[in-house]
Amino acid sequence: VFQGRILARRLVGQETRYEVEVKTPYRHRFPLVPREYVWVPNTCGCPPLREGGEYLLMARRHVNYERTLNRILLQDDGYARPWTPREDRLVRGAARHC
């Protein structure tokens, strides 16, 4: 779970790749660098992330069977909400209990 600002969007094959500036990592099981690519397994624009917008993203690390692909994946059932101070308070509060 992290707060990020969408820098760019690019369609790659049947997927969408977002370049994201990681602002605040809240809870992560793998290291995040200041800029990451977040992949969405569709090209329909779901979830609707706009360039320049700040979002609270709950994504997962995806490593394929051969261990040749390691990326951050925002699945259809993933969590992507516009970032607000209220979201920040809720996530910080939940992080203390999880």
Main-chain phi, psi angles of 14, to 5 degrees: -100, 20
pLDDT digits (tens, 9 = 90+) for 2-55: 899 999 999 999 999 999 999 988 877 778 889 999 999 988 878 889 999 999
What domains lie within the chain, and their CATH numbers?
A: 2-96 (2.40.50.120)
Cα 63 to Cα 58: distance, rounded to the nearest angstrom: 17
Q: Is the pLDDT of residue 93 over 90?
A: no
Measure the CA dihedral 20/98/88/18, to 10°. 10
The pLDDT of residue 51: 95
pTM of the model as a whole: 0.82
**Tens digits of per-residue pLDDT, 48-57?**
899 999 999 9
